[in-house]
Every structure is written in C-alpha cells, then in structure tokens.
Chains A and B, each alone.
Chain A
C-alpha cells in the first residue's frame, strides 16, 4: 500500500514539473507582448521597456522560470496587471465560487447517476432501461448551456424560485450561496450524470455476468442483495475513472455556465485574462488547474486501492 502510494506521489511530482515547463514554454511562444498591449500602439519603446521591467518580463527565460516557480511555491503568484491586484488574491476569490460549484455538480451527478445506472442495469431490456437510456442520450447530446437557459426560464422567470444569476458571496451566509449555485450546478451535472449513469450501467451489467455473482446467488442472496453486496464495489472501478476526468472538467470547463449565470469563477477569470493578454494570470491559473487535475488523479488512484484489494500489497 505504502509502495503504491509512494510511486503515485512520485509520478504526481514529476507530472507537475513537466507541466510547468510546458506552460512556461507556451506562454513564451504566445505572440503579443503584454507591455505594449497595455500601453497601446503609440507607446515609446522606453516606456514599454520600463513596464516590462516592472511586470517582471525582462531577464532570461531560465531566470524568469525559476522566479515564477519559486514564487508559486511560496504562494507568491505575481501581480495581475489588468486587475492590479495579487494573482493569489484573485484566484482565492474565484476559487470560492468555482470549487464549491464543481463539488456541488459532482455530488449531484454521482447521486443521480449511480442509482439510475443501477436501476437501468437491473431492469435491462425493460421499460425503465429504455427510458433511462433515451434520457441519458438526450442528456449527452444537449449542451449544458441550453439546459442552463431552460432552467433559468422555468425556475427563475416562471416559478421565481431562484435568481437568474450572480453570486452574493459567502459572507451573506451559507444557504444564499448554495441557492445561487444550485441552477448552475444542475446545468453542469445533467450531462455529466448522463455519461456517468451509462458507464455505471454497462459496468454493472458486465459485473453481474461474473461467476462470483452466480456464487452469491447460490449462497441464497437475492438478485438485489447480490448486486448491492457483490457487484456494486466491483462496478465502481470504471466509474471512478470517469469521475476523476469529470471533476477536472468541472473545475475549469465551466466557462460557459459561469457566463450564463454571471458567476465570478475561475473559468471567467482565465477567459478574460487571455483576451487581455494578462499572461501572469493565465500562467498561474493554468498551473493551478494542472495541479488540481493531478491531485484529483492521485485521489482517484487512492480510491482504486481502497476499492480493489489487488492493488494493495501486503508488506
């Protein structure tokens, strides 16, 4: 077990280092100099140079890379030149929206998908199965922003249960925050839950054909008991893989949903930073996202070992 974790942690560290090279190189290669962009076309070269100095853009690439990395390790992400604040402050603020939103959507999609997938598998070929397969097909095909608009139309405009957008901030209390995130989380969760319940269904169907399910039945377990006690844990292994991929997407990929609901999240931050050539923000946020994705992968690996004893080794 320790060996498995140590190896995973090592590969995690290596991935981070490689990712930092790639990100730094990309930013180096992107056309457009932030300083001249900020000062406009008619700026004097001296002024541009001065600004570059101020922004920390001068110096050789290796020095800048080292400065960037060592800064990040100590929590200093640099300063955004469009927002004129510390990047760390900016990211922290946006994380308070994006992270809860991603978690909320993830919890929703798993709590929907696992029982739905189980139901479809246990009623294979029945009406419930066909209904679920049709609905999930639709859920995958329809883009999430369309769901978002539909939700706004029904729950905000018609029923007036939720506001159509914006985020009050957590200082207004827990529930108002959750309420503001509910519709976006549902919009994000629906397509994800559709994919996940299909994975759950097919994985469970495969497991239900295994010999050990027959053994369980021969011991006197009912089909339902055999499914819950013997099939479920084995069927979760592929589901975990998809779940890990989905979380990474939810964290950074919610740009459109954040725009639909006017949420100040990471997705919008990075989008604006790119359009305004705020490369320091881009660089840092992307690195942070990479870190989050790698961390999630690590957690998924951990979960594999928890679920499957064959991955644990006896000392």
Chain B
C-alpha cells in the first residue's frame, strides 16, 4: 500500500503540484490521466525522489505506513537508492532510449538484483533469464547477451519491465509506457502489465493521456489538471458520472468528431499506380550489387479532389516511405504517381511541387528556430517566386489558421505546440495547394488541442475544397476525419474502402487485429442515468 499525502512541489519557486493525495493498494491499478504539463510525470518523479534540479517537494509518501525520507532529511538520497528499483520501480515512455546501448539486456536486468544485494552475479543472471522469460523474451530467442539495439521498441519495453519487477516491488510506476508503441504492441504490453499486477501483487500507477487505455486497465482513476487532482474514484463510476467538467472535457475532446461536409468530387487529384520503392541494404559481398529492401511494394490508390483519405499502418509498414515518394522527394523504382495527371518525382518543376504541401508530426522540429513566423510561412514562395503583396498573403494564411497578424514577427519558441502546428498548416496553405499531406500531424498534440486542430482542418477543407492525405497510426483520429481509408502492412495496401465500412466491418484479418487492439471506453459507460449524452 502506497500513500501520497498532501504532495506539493515547486520548481525554482514556481508551484507545480498542489495537495496531491493518492493511494495505490497492492494488486491494484491506479490510472493517472491528464494533459501534458498537468504534473502527472512530476508526481511520479516525486514518488521516486528523482525530481529535476531546483525542485522543492512537500507532503508525505508512505509505503505500508512507513514514511519515505523527505528531501530535507540527512542522507535521503542514499536511503532512497535502497528503495528505488527495490520497493518502487518505474518504466518510461521511450523504450528506444531507456536502455544503455553498450550493455547487454541480461547485464541490465541482473544489475537491479546485484545492486540491492539480492543475488550474486551468477544467480542474478539466472534470475534475469527467468524474468525475461516471464515478460516474453525467452532466452532461446533472446539470449542474455543481446544488446538493446538488436530488439524492437516493444521488446525493449519488455526488458525495462523485467528489470523493474525483478525484485517484486510494492509499486510499479509506468509513465506513458505504450505511447511510443504501435497499437498491437501496446495491447500486448498492457496485457503483460495487467497479468504482472495480479501475479506479483504489486500496485501499478499507470500514467497516461489516453482515457481509453485507463478505462481498460485501471481499478481507480485520478484526473489531474494544472498540478491538482480534480477528480478520483473507481474507474467505472468515474466514467459513468464524470462529475468534474474537466473530465468531461477530456473525454469529449478525445472522441471529438469535427463537423465535416463532404466536398469530394469525382475527379482524381492524386493517382498512385503500382508504386515500388526499394532501399539499398549494406553490401554483403564486395563486388556484388547491394541487396535491396522493398519498402513499398506495388501500391495503387487515388485521392479525389476535396477528399480526405486516411492511410493507417504500424511503424515500419512503409507509410513514411510512400509519403516521401508521393511528395516527390525520392524516386520510385517502379510505377508512378501523378498529381492532376502530371508525373511527380524528385526532378519535377517547382510550380508542380507547389500543388501539394506537407505538415509533419513535430511542428517544432520542422521549423528553423532562428526564423520569424513571417519567414517560415513565406518559405514555400521559393518554389514560385514571391508576389509583391506577399506579406498580405502570410497574414491571410495566418488568419485562416486562427492566428493574428501580430504573430508574424515572433519566433517559433514563443508559441505552444498547438499554435506551432497552426503555423505549419499556414505554411502549407500559403501557395494554395490542392493537396495537403498530413503526416501524423496531430499525433504529438494533447487531446483538447488535437480536437481544435481537427476542427480547423475540417473547416479549411470545407472552405477551400482541399484534398487531405491523412497518415496516422491513430485509428480513432483517422476514423473521425477521413472519407476513405487505406490500411497498409509490410509495404502493401491490404484493405481499402469507405472509412465507416472498413471500421465497422473490416474484411482483412490485419485490419481486424488493428481495430481489436485499439483500446476503447465501453460504450455503456458513456450513458448516464438520465439518458442524455454528457458529451
């Protein structure tokens, strides 16, 4: 039993957390939900006493009624070192970077055991092997001397779990453990965590932004907003009543369906015919041709004017490669793509390139931080030449995306994530293209911001008759914003059809597995006793 009482936190004097009370019983899953910046992760780090520099924490944390050493106590870090990894352990969001690249997985799992004096080196390796087997990495397929780079993201997260549970902790903290993973991998990892909670009789504090994940996993839910827990209680009851407006707001934003008008015409805008894209692999023999990896294998589809087409698939399925080929950034090894009947490729003329623009996932990484918004938004003009009144066009594009002219002279870091994505959309709009490729364009945004951006996109489509190619791993978003959907797997389109039909009656087993793996909130939880929808 872990109890947090009156936890407060300031960082360099700024209050971050206030009066956080939370208790996690053994064998129980407590979900902590909230948007980014709400203080979920810092609550976890406060439990671990791994807060950033300049933090001052107040309040009490008790394990089985014994208080943990407070920050002010003499030698508290040494005392906490005995608790971390032993009684409280933690796994993180990004499994790709969470493991030391120069140590084997066996060594890293065994380290927990040796460090806390639970086993000798030899025993520790044996126990590590058992733990890795338990999390699904049996030594016949994944020997202990494997290095992290030889494993996939999901497998690495399993290694992290193995090292976190090696000493039967009282509490496991999982901070967005599946956010970076594909939907089918996510389902497997969540299943594993659920089993381990029961087997090990440990508590699990599951931190996530995804209400659907919490609905399927947690016994108790706490909703956090701006450093405070605004509502908590048993999961089903909380979902059924939703007594706090913020909780309702989160739910409605996460399921937000933008108001769309079907503007699709029966004129093809983008046509992709039997597209093949090969990548050369490292040479195996000196004087033989390099082996090729076929990332896109004979893909054909079309996108009509004003239509919104979704492209879904898991990481590595070839959707990003296909996107680059569609944008004419890389050559195809077979087939062709046409925009308005004209061939697209790396050597097409700039004017044709201006007919389609792209918005990427991370708006910050796709801007030069030393450029003003004015310069960022007007950059595509290098394709067509800058008209006299280009500043007016920039202002128009900014107002189209809901920003004011005043933004023109500011720099990207002065904007929030959602505003930056608006700037990226303005940059895509400036040349008045017919097609906008949205490559995971809303995946990095919080649910409420995501809902606003989806509304904006729907609005732009209605007003300008734009065609959208919407690439995402997030099925619910694709379902809400597209007319038709393509499901891609291992370089091929395995299913295609009107979005609602595909989601309601998937025909390909892969599509079925994708839809089944996506976490959902049970529909009857969303009905309240008064018979009116809350959202």
Q: How far is the CB of A95 from chain B (nearest CB, A)?
A: 35
Please name the residue on chain B nearest to A220 by beta carbon: B85
Q: Known interface pairs A219-B115, A222-B81. Does A309 touch B160 (Cβ–Cβ under 8 Å)? A: no
**In the assembled complex, which residues on chain A have CB atoms less than 8 Å from the CB atom of B99?**
212, 215
Please name the residue on chain B nearest to A310 by beta carbon: B149
Interface of A: prevailing SS:
helix
Given contacts A218-B164, A220-B86, 15 further A-B contacts (CB under 8 A): A211-B98, A215-B92, A215-B100, A217-B48, A218-B50, A219-B164, A220-B85, A221-B81, A221-B115, A225-B115, A233-B102, A234-B102, A307-B102, A308-B101, A310-B147
Is B469 an interface residue when CB atoms closer than 8 A count as contact?
Answer: no
Is B103 an interface residue when CB atoms closer than 8 A count as contact?
Answer: yes
**27 A-B pairs (CB sep. < 8 Å):** A211-B98, A212-B97, A215-B98, A215-B99, A217-B50, A218-B92, A218-B164, A219-B84, A219-B85, A219-B89, A219-B111, A219-B163, A220-B83, A220-B84, A220-B86, A220-B112, A220-B115, A220-B116, A221-B81, A221-B115, A222-B78, A223-B77, A308-B102, A309-B102, A309-B149, A310-B147, A310-B149
Q: How far is the CB of B169 from chain A (nearest CB, A)?
A: 10
**In the assembled complex, which residues on chain B have CB atoms less than 8 Å from the CB atom of A214?**
50, 92, 98
Closest 6 CB pairs of A and B: A220-B85, A219-B85, A211-B97, A220-B84, A218-B90, A212-B100
Please name the residue on chain A nearest to B90 by beta carbon: A218
A234 touching B84, Cβ below 8 Å: no
B50 touching A211, Cβ below 8 Å: no
Tell me the complex Cα distance, A309–B160, Å: 19
Q: How far is the CB of B106 from chain A (nearest CB, A)?
A: 13
Tell me the complex Cα distance, A119–B59, Å: 34
Within 8 A of A (CB), among B218-256: none
Q: Known interface pairs A210-B97, A234-B100, A307-B102. Does A218 touch B147 (Cβ–Cβ under 8 Å)? A: no
Tell me the complex Cα distance, A225–B101, Å: 17
Is B94 an interface residue when CB atoms closer than 8 A count as contact?
Answer: yes
Is A230 an interface residue when CB atoms closer than 8 A count as contact?
Answer: yes
Residue with the greatest number of chain B CB neighbours at <10 A, chosen from A223, A225, A229, A309: A309
Is A216 an interface residue when CB atoms closer than 8 A count as contact?
Answer: yes
Among A217, A219, A229, A310, the residue within 8 A (CB) of B101 is A310
Within 8 A of B (CB), among A231-268: 233-234
> Per-residue CB proximity of B146-158 to A under 8 Å, as 1/0?
0101100000000
Q: Known interface pairs A211-B94, A309-B149. Does A218 touch B100 (Cβ–Cβ under 8 Å)? A: no
A contacts, CB < 8 Å to B = 210-212, 214-223, 225, 229-230, 233-234, 307-310, 314
**In the assembled complex, which residues on chain B have CB atoms less than 8 Å from the CB atom of A212?**
97-101
Please name the residue on chain A nearest to B109 by beta carbon: A219
Tell me the complex Cα distance, A142–B162, Å: 53
Is B413 an interface residue when CB atoms closer than 8 A count as contact?
Answer: no
Q: How far is the CB of A311 from chain B (nearest CB, A)?
A: 10
**In the assembled complex, which residues on chain A have CB atoms less than 8 Å from the CB atom of B78?**
222
Residue with the greatest number of chain B CB neighbours at <10 A, chosen from A210, A216, A223: A216
Among B81, B94, B104, B147, the residue within 8 A (CB) of A220 is B81
Tell me the complex Cα distance, A234–B149, Å: 14
> Per-residue CB proximity of B108-148 to A under 8 Å, as 1/0?
00011001100000000000000000000000000000010
Q: How far is the CB of B172 from chain A (nearest CB, A)?
A: 11
Tell me the complex Cα distance, A310–B151, Å: 12
**In the assembled complex, which residues on chain A have CB atoms less than 8 Å from the CB atom of B464?**
none
**In the assembled complex, which residues on chain A have CB atoms less than 8 Å from the CB atom of B410?**
none
Residue with the greatest number of chain B CB neighbours at <10 A, chosen from A215, A222, A234, A314: A215
Q: How far is the CB of B504 from chain A (nearest CB, A)?
A: 40
Tell me the complex Cα distance, A207–B48, Å: 21
**In the assembled complex, which residues on chain B have CB atoms less than 8 Å from the CB atom of A211?**
92, 94, 97-98
**In the assembled complex, which residues on chain A have CB atoms less than 8 Å from the CB atom of B50?**
214, 217-218
Tell me the complex Cα distance, A308–B101, Å: 8
Q: How far is the CB of A141 from chain B (nearest CB, A)?
A: 30
**In the assembled complex, which residues on chain A have CB atoms less than 8 Å from the CB atom of B149?**
309-310
Is B409 an interface residue when CB atoms closer than 8 A count as contact?
Answer: no
**In the assembled complex, which residues on chain B have CB atoms less than 8 Å from the CB atom of A308?**
101-102
Among A219, A223, A225, A233, the residue within 8 A (CB) of B112 is A219
Please name the residue on chain B nearest to A207 by beta carbon: B100
**In the assembled complex, which residues on chain B have CB atoms less than 8 Å from the CB atom of A223?**
77
Q: Known interface pairs A214-B50, A214-B92, A215-B92. Does A220 touch B82 (Cβ–Cβ under 8 Å)? A: yes
Residue with the greatest number of chain A CB neighbours at <10 A, chosen from B94, B100, B149, B150: B100
Within 8 A of A (CB), among B6-46: none
Tell me the complex Cα distance, A310–B147, Å: 8
**In the assembled complex, which residues on chain B have CB atoms less than 8 Å from the CB atom of A307?**
102
A309 touching B115, Cβ below 8 Å: no
Q: How far is the CB of A129 from chain B (nearest CB, A)?
A: 14
Tell me the complex Cα distance, A215–B111, Å: 12
> Per-residue CB proximity of B43-86 to A under 8 Å, as 1/0?
00000101000000000000000000000000001100111111
Tell me the complex Cα distance, A210–B150, Å: 19
**In the assembled complex, which residues on chain B have CB atoms less than 8 Å from the CB atom of A233?**
102
Within 8 A of A (CB), among B297-343: none
Q: How far is the CB of B283 from chain A (nearest CB, A)?
A: 10
Please name the residue on chain B nearest to A212 by beta carbon: B100
**In the assembled complex, which residues on chain B have CB atoms less than 8 Å from the CB atom of A218?**
48, 50, 84-85, 89-90, 92, 164
**In the assembled complex, which residues on chain A have CB atoms less than 8 Å from the CB atom of B102?**
233-234, 307-309
Q: How far is the CB of B31 from chain A (nearest CB, A)?
A: 20
Tell me the complex Cα distance, A66–B163, Å: 62
**In the assembled complex, which residues on chain A have CB atoms less than 8 Å from the CB atom of B101?**
212, 234, 308-310
Please name the residue on chain B nearest to A211 by beta carbon: B97
**In the assembled complex, which residues on chain A have CB atoms less than 8 Å from the CB atom of B86?**
220
B84 touching A215, Cβ below 8 Å: no
Tell me the complex Cα distance, A221–B84, Å: 8
Residue with the greatest number of chain B CB neighbours at <10 A, chosen from A219, A221, A308: A219
Please name the residue on chain A nearest to B150 by beta carbon: A314
Tell me the complex Cα distance, A221–B115, Å: 7
Q: How far is the CB of A222 from chain B (nearest CB, A)?
A: 5
Q: How far is the CB of A272 from chain B (nearest CB, A)?
A: 45
Tell me the complex Cα distance, A241–B224, Å: 48
Please name the residue on chain A nearest to B53 by beta carbon: A125
Please name the residue on chain A nearest to B44 by beta carbon: A218
Tell me the complex Cα distance, A223–B84, Å: 13
Please name the residue on chain A nearest to B115 by beta carbon: A220
**In the assembled complex, which residues on chain B have CB atoms less than 8 Å from the CB atom of A222?**
77-78, 81
Tell me the complex Cα distance, A211–B157, Å: 13
Q: How far is the CB of B48 from chain A (nearest CB, A)?
A: 6
Q: How far is the CB of A10 from chain B (nearest CB, A)?
A: 9
Tell me the complex Cα distance, A172–B257, Å: 90
Tell me the complex Cα distance, A220–B103, Å: 17
Within 8 A of A (CB), among B143-190: 147, 149-150, 160, 163-164
Please name the residue on chain B nearest to A308 by beta carbon: B102
Tell me the complex Cα distance, A94–B82, Å: 57
Q: How far is the CB of A89 from chain B (nearest CB, A)?
A: 41
A216 touching B100, Cβ below 8 Å: yes
